[in-house]
Every structure is written in C-alpha cells, then in structure tokens.
Structure 1
C-alpha cells in the first residue's frame, strides 16, 4: 500500500469508464498505483456502466478511501466522455490534472518526470509526450493486420511534425491541427494545469464519444504555450473493441472520421467567433480545412490534378473556373 500524505494532492488522476470490463480496467488503475511519484489522488468517473466495472471502481474506492474516489452522474446516467471528464475535473483538488483511459496504462515514471518538466516551465498550460501504440499486449492481436505492421514491428510510437523538447507558442499547434498534420496527443499522455481548465471551461459536452480531446486541445493551442516532450510515458492499447476499431470493422470508420472532423471544424468556427479571434492565419487555415466539405466536387477534381500540364485544356479550364469561384473562401 502506498504511504498516504496529509498535504493537498498535487496531481489529480482521472479515469473515465463505461462498461470497461475488469481486466483492462484493473491494469489501468494498477499502473497509477505503480507510479514512482505517489502524491496523487484518483477519481474513477463512471459514465453509467452496466457491467462489472462499476463494482471494480467501488472496491478500489472502499479499499483506499483517502486516495481513490468513485464518481457517477445523477441517477447513474450515461452522458458521454466530455461530461464524464468534466465530472472528474470538478472534484479534482490537485494543481495538475492527468487523464488515463480505462483500457490504457501509464509507465511508472510518468508523473514524476512530467512534474519535473512542467515545473520548469510555469508558462506552459499543458505538457504531453509521445505515446506507444501497444499491440504486443496480445500475441495474436488482430489489429496488427489493420495497421499493416511488419512481422518484426512491435509497438510503434506516435509520429509528430512538432519538434520535441521545447515550448510551442500559440497558435502553432492549432494551425497544424487544421492542416491535419500528425500532432494529435493522446489524452493519457498529457498533464494539464488545473488553472487551464478553469480558464477554458473544460471539455465541450456536445462531443460525447469522439474528438472531445481534439476540441479541448484546440482551446489550449489557440491561447497558451504547450511543452512537447520526446519521452514516452504511456501505452495506448490497440484492441478490436475500441470505439474507432468497432466503427472501421462495421464499415463506418471513414464516414465517422469525416463526420467527426466536420463537426469539429464547425465547432471551431463558432468558437473563434465567440472568442473574437482576429488572427488571419488561423481563419485561413480553417477555411482551407473546410474546403473539402463545402466544395466536395471541386475538391475531388483538384485531387486528381497533380500536374496541370498533363491535363487537357478543357479539364484545366474547368478546374480553374471552379477554383476561382471558391478562392475567396480559402484566402
């Protein structure tokens, strides 16, 4: 058992869960107990589970009453990921907040090393590192074929177009988000100052099951510096029953991605107006990101035009005419 301290917990750890089962959920919780840094509190936030995961959470809360806390929505409702993350945030007492999904795990030095880094950068609202895509938890993981991993390739790291081990000024990472560049930090990788949540209002509850992290990151990236580390502190479990794997297995993956991105862009447009953001580059990148959705036929045509000089004159003139009519929207 971890030694308890009387001082205010510095890190509030939040695991949200919905029908998380037992095995993965327990592994996630135990990875927090295995941290080399023990000045933490843990909130297990139940999004209306109907399986044994509620019982698992209650047992931990009963066993460690000064360390682990069980939370649920009124009448055990299912309200989605954003509302459940906000439930944990409202109860958090730590100076920092860190999230772990119920099927992922932290590596033992995560909290210790992240606290050491972010304390050196008081202007940083958030810190995140690389994430390991964890295929090897299962010897015959079917997700390997989905991602076309080589036979000798085990657990690749996330790839990012951001330079590591430095503070990134706003709105640099938001601009890359809008270009759909590889800078998507996993929720289990980040640690955030609690003051950041108070300033930004937490997660947007209209995003129930997907892209809620992207929306929150965008709010941070727009206004605050963020430290990006080359270290890996977490494992993102690749398994066939996750939200996105299920969507792809049912043949709905690409549609879900496109619908989700359009919803995200629509929210961001409204948010920029509400925040009275005048940055012309942000607006330009947003309009460019909207282009495939607002002009789908033109976008499909232009995708085929890699080398205009090989096109017939008629096709090229048609493309130019269509482009000119929409050009104002992407300037």
Structure 2
C-alpha cells in the first residue's frame, strides 16, 4: 500500500539516505507491467534507509493499483501532476520533495540490481568531493542496440572533456546517484529541452565537481515498442547544448579549448542542418 500522499505526509523521524525519484507515465497495460518490475527492483535494494518518490505525470491509465501490488516497498509517496509536464519537470518535482541527501533516478521501465544503491552510496562515501556516481548499464529489450560507448574504457573519474567528446550515451538517468544539493545548485533539470536534459545536468555537475564511475553493471535500461516518445526539437536542443558547451569553452584552459574545437564545429554544423530542415518543412506546409 502507498504509505501516504503529499497532502497527508506524516513526520519522518529517520531521514532516508537515498530518495528514489520515479517519474511515471503509464499509457498502456504494458507500461503498468514494466512499472511493477521497476518498483520490485527498488524494493529489493540491500540498502534499506531509502524512500520512494513516485511522480505520476498525468498518466492516461491510473498507476495506483500497479504500485500497490508491489510488496515490501520502502516508505513511498505518490505525487500527481494535474497536467502532463514531461520527464524533466517530473524529476524536478520529485527532487524538491525528496527527504534524502542523495537522489537516485529510476525511470518507470528500467531495472536495478539489488546492490545498486548500496555500492553507489559507498562509492560516494569514499569520494566525498564527488557530486555524483554512476554505474554501467545493460540495455535490455526485444532487440536492444549496442552501447555507443565501451563502458570498459570509461575512466574512474571522467574529465569534462572526455565526457563531452563521448556524447550523450555515457550516463543514463537510472544509473546515476547524485547529491541533492548539487542538483539544486545547478538549477535542477532544464525543462527547455525536449531531450537530453539529463546530459545537460551531468555537464553542469562536471563543470563544478568530480563525478565517479563505478565499473559494475548495476542497472538495466529497457528499450521496447511502448517507450514513451517525446517530441524532439533538435534545433532547440542543439542551441541550448551548444551554448552550455561554449560557456565552459570560453573560460577553459587552452588544452581543453583545442580538444573541444571539433565538437563545437560539429554542433554548429548540426545547427545549420536542423535550421535548413526546419525551413524546408515550413515551406512544404505552406
């Protein structure tokens, strides 16, 4: 059963170490099934001082029965958006409501191995200067693609240049454990993006603090035919991301500037391509 709603939240005497933020958008029965498996993987965590903050993003099908069917859930809150706000703002709502000092993100169709949180909490304890820890992931589904990045080659503490030059496939949200204060300090997830808002957040964190890579496969990222497809505005996202990279580049050491020049050239070339494509679509619709 759900322990309480946001309206009648009881006093929590023991502050949880980790708050698990789960943005939910259930539009099919398959989604509900994935959600149950996701929550079961959260309930099976060996780290017990945790809470679950589920943010229902105005799902077309009510997820409550699916949530209540999962046994041995930790202390759980269900927050409901009255309108669909998207995954970025739903995560932000969960972060603001979280009681824990550490935030773990778990998308509603992904899975964790039982020791995921315990291993990551230990890694951050061993690296007190780091703002975030992320683990390796396995991509699952009926026909999962190969990862774009060989996870065996990821440094223990990737630099911002390494991270930027390896693209938006190194860290999935469900693999990350982040200090809540770091998320607040960067302004949470940027809701102006239509995609890659998490990539934006990881870059902003790396611009200020180290992050730690835990070279263990402790999360599973699910690809399936019922994945929610958000409408992606590639030109908008390119502009936002390029401006962020430029803000780092302008003050970066010369070695970093040189290393990032090819990336910036590709970003500006992509912007030109997306702009031409948009103009072409606009003309065809007239």
Which range, TM-score by smaller chain? 0.7 to 0.9
Match of 1:16 in 2: 23
State which of 222, 226, 237 in structure 2 corresponds to 1:264: 237
Q: How many residues align?
A: 257
Matched, 1:35 2:45: yes
What TM-score results when the alignment is normalised by the length of structure 2? 0.78
Matches within 5 A, 1:243-322: 243=228, 259-260=233-234, 262-271=235-244, 277-279=250-252, 281-282=256-257, 284-294=261-271
Give the CA deviation at 1:176: 1.7
SS state of the match for residue 126, structure 2? coil
- Residues 1:107 and 2:113 are matched in the alignment: yes
Q: Distance in 1 between matches of 2:64 and 2:149?
A: 31
User: Per-residue deviation at 1:89?
Assistant: 0.4
Kept in 1, the 8 Å contact 2:148–2:169? The answer is no
CA separation of 1:86/1:60 partners in 2, compared to 1, >3 Å: closer, same or farther? farther
Q: Report the alpha carbon displacement of residue 276 of structure 1 after superposing the two structures with TM.
A: 9.3
2:158 to 165, 168, 175: 168
Q: CA deviation at 1:87?
A: 0.3
User: For 1:186-225, what aligned pairs fall within 5 Å after superposition?
Assistant: 186-208=172-194, 210-225=195-210
The superposition leaves residues 38-96 of structure 1 with CA deviations (integer Å, 9 ceiling, x where unpaired) of 11000010111120324434x379x96x80000122xx110111110000000011111
Structure 2: runs of 5 or more not aligned = 2-11, 274-286
**Given the superposition, is the C-alpha separation of residues 160 and 289 from structure 1 closer, same or farther in structure 2, using an over 3 Å criterion?**
farther
Task: Give the 3-state SS of the residue equivalent to 1:123 in structure 2.
Answer: coil
Normalized against structure 1, the TM-score is what? 0.68
Return closer, same or farther for 1:277/1:202 CA change in 2, 3 Å cut-off.
farther
Who is 1:90 aligned against? 96
Measured at CA, do residues 11 and 223 of structure 1 come closer, stay the same or move farther in structure 2, by a change above 3 Å? same
- The answer to whether the aligner puts 1:128 opposite 2:138 as a matched pair is no
CA contact (8 A) 1:130 1:157 kept: no
CA RMSD, 1 decimal: 3.3
The separation in 2 between residues aligned to 1:224 and 1:175, in whole angstroms, is: 15
> 1:294–1:269: structure 2 CA closer, same or farther, 3 Å change rule?
closer
- Structure 1 partner of 2:276: none
Classify the secondary structure of the residue corresponding to 1:167: coil
The answer to whether the 8 Å contact 1:47/1:77 transfers is: yes
Question: 1:319 is matched with which residue?
Answer: none
**SS of equivalent to 1:124:** coil
In 2, Cα distance between equivalents of 1:291 and 1:192: 31
8 Å contact 2:151–2:215 — kept in the other structure? no
Alignment partners' CA distance in 1, 2:69 and 2:96: 20
Aligned-partner Cα distance in 1 for 2:132–2:86: 23
Quote the offset at 1:22 in angstroms. Answer: 1.8
